[in-house]
Structure 1
Amino acid sequence: MSPRCEPFGSLPDGRDVERYVLQAGAVEVAVLTYGAVLQSVRTPDARGSGADIALGYDDLDGYLRDTTYVGAVVGRFGNRIAGGRFLLDGVEHVLPRNHGTSCLHGGPAGFHTRLWSAREVPGGVELTLTSPDGDMGFPGTLTATVTYVLGDDGLTLTYGAVTDRPTVVNLTNHAYWNLAGGGTVEDHVVELPAARFVAVDDRLIPTGIEPVEGTPMDFRSPRRIGDRLRDGTEQLQHARGYDHAWLPDGRGPRSVARVGDPPSGRVLEVVSDQPGVQFYSGNFLDGSVLGRGGRAYRQGDGLCLETQHLRDSPNRPEFPSTVLRPGEQYATTTTFRFGTSDGAR
C-alpha cells in the first residue's frame, strides 16, 4: 500500500512537519519528517489485539521538548565521541560536548533536531538531509538518507550517505520499544547472540572489548532483563543498568537481537549488517517528560536496540572504521521483524 501523508504541526520557524503512515497487514508504522522519527509502531499480540510498542509523543511539541532521542535518527555520529574531538588525516576536529565531556549523538543540534525532506517509495518513504561542512564540528558536506519500508518481512531501515570531504559517519535509529504497550520492560526476555561486549568506564567511554562469559552481559541464551539488572557489577553501576554495545557473532546481515514479552506473546527480532548493537534498558528515563497519552516515561519503561558502529570509533583504531571519503557510499540496513510466539497468557 502507498503511505498516507498527513500534517503533524509546524516548527517555530513555520516549516511544516509531515507524518507518513505505512501499513502492511496488521502492522501500522508512522514516520515523521522531523528528526526522521519513528513515531509509532502498532502490532497485534498473540490474541490479535493491537497496541503501540514504540514510545513516542502525540504531537510535535513533545518531540521539540524531548531530551531522550525518542524514535529519532541520530547523527552525524550516533553514540559518544570522547572529549568531543577526534583526529582525521592528522587534523583535529572539535565537537560540542553535550554529555559530560563527550559529544553524544552528533551534538545538541544533531540530525534528531532537523527537518528532513521526504519522497514516497514503494512500501514506504525516503527521507533526505544535507549537513553542511562544519555542522556540529564535523568536516565535509554530508548528504544522508534513511528509507523506511514496511513489508511482509518487517520494517526495514536503509541508511545511505555521501560526502565531499573525509568525515566520520555512524547513523542509527533510537527507538524505545515496549512490547507490552506499557509498564516496565524488566519482564521482557532478551537474546543477544554475541560472545563479546564493549566495557565502559564511569563516563560510558570504552575501556576495551571483553567476553560476556560469566557476567550479567551474557544474553546468548534468552534472559529476563530484570534478572541481573541490579547485580551491582561495575559495568551495570557505570550505566545504571544496560547501556552497552554487543558485538554480534558473524558478519553481514544476521540476527543481532531478539526480544519477547511472554504475557502478550509479542516478539521483536532485529536483523542487521552492522558490527554492533547497543542494548539500552532505559536507565535515564526519569519521568520528566510526558509521552503518548500523557504517560510519564520512567526508568525501564522502554528499551533500545541501536544497530551501529561502536562508540568513540573515531578515536579507536582497533574498532571498525567509521571514516567516509569522497567517492565512497555509506550504506547499511536494519530490519525489525514483528511476530508472536506461543504460550502467551
Structure 2
Amino acid sequence: MAPMGIRLSPLGIGVFCLLGLGVLYHVYSGLLTWRLSSLLGDRAGADGGVMVDLRDLLAVAVQAAELGGVEVKAVRESNKLNENSKGKTREGADEKMTRGDLLSNRKMASLIKNSFPGVQVNTEEHLEDDDKEPISWDHKIPDDIKDKIQNPILASSESITVWIDPLDATHEYTENLVDFVTTMVCVAVHGKPVIGVIHKPFTHYTAWAMVDGGANIKRREIYNEKNPTIIVSRSHSGKVKDVTLKTFGNQTKIVSAGGSGYKVLSLLDVTGNEKQETADVYIHITYIKKWDICAGNAILNALGGHMTTLKGEEIIYTGSDGNEGGLLSSIGMDHDALVEKLASKITN
C-alpha cells in the first residue's frame, strides 16, 4: 500500500499560515526588545534591584510632567509666584525660583518616587520626605504608548536614573512669556537617555519618545543644512551669538528663546502648536544642568538626531548634575560636520 499523504483543507492552510505569522511577529517583537536591552547594556538582574518595565516608567513620566504642568499653570494664572533668587548663574544672571517650581516639583517627584521607590530620582528642586505627597500611578498605560510599544522592555531599577525639570524657563515664566515654559522628565539607563517627555502646560501639548520603542512626535521633513536657522538661549546666551555668526556667517538667522525643552521642540515637527519657533540647530556654549537637557536628548536620540557637547562627545546622565562641555543639537543634519565647523571657531 502506498503511504498516505497529509492533505490540508483550505481552512487548515489558513490556520497554519496565521500561526506562522503569529510566531514571526513574536520573534520580531522579541528581537526589538532584545535590541534595546543590548543597547543599554542591561542584563536581567545583573546589577541587582527590581526589574522595571520601561513602558510603565514612560507612562508615569508623562503623567508626572502633566501633573506638574497643572501646578505651573495654576500658579502663573493666580499671579502669586512668590518669586525669589536661588543665586547667580555663571553668566551673572539671577537664578530664579517660584512657587510654581516648588509645587510642580512636589507633584512630579512624589509621583515617580512613590511609584518606583527603587529608582534614583534627580530633580532641580530639593524635596524633603515631609513634602512628599501620597500620590501614585494607577497602573494604566495610555493607549498611544501601548500601540507603539507592545512588549515589556525591562531594566534593573539600579541602572535607572530619572531626571526631573519641574519648570523649564523660569526666567520667562516670571515675565509671563509662557510659550517657552515646559515641564520635563527623562529616564536614563546606565547613563544613556532612553525616555524623554516634554510637556507645554499652557498649550496642553506633550511630546514623548523612547529609544528603539516609539514616539508621539516626528522629525520635520526638511532641514536647511546650507543656511541653517540657529536657536540659542535668550537669558543665558553668553558668547553664543558671536560664535554662531563667526561659524555660519553674518547672514545667519539666529532665534533667541527661553528653555531647553522649547528649543529642542523647535527642531521637530510640533504639529498644531502655532506658537512654537522652528530651527535647524540648537547651540549652547556654556555650562548647563542635566535636568534641562536629558529629556530633549532622549527624544532626539529616539528620532535619529543628536545632542552632544560642542566637541561631539555623548553626555552621560549619571554623577554630577551639570554638563560643562556646551551643547550642540541637530536632527536631519550632518552632526559631525557641525562639530568640526564649530570647533575651529571656539578654539580661535
Q: Common fold, TM-score beyond 0.5?
A: no
TM value normalised by structure 1: 0.25
TM value normalised by structure 2: 0.25
Whose radius of gyration is greater, 1 or 2? 2
RCO comparison, higher one (Cα < 8 Å, 6+): 1
Greater percentage in strand = 1
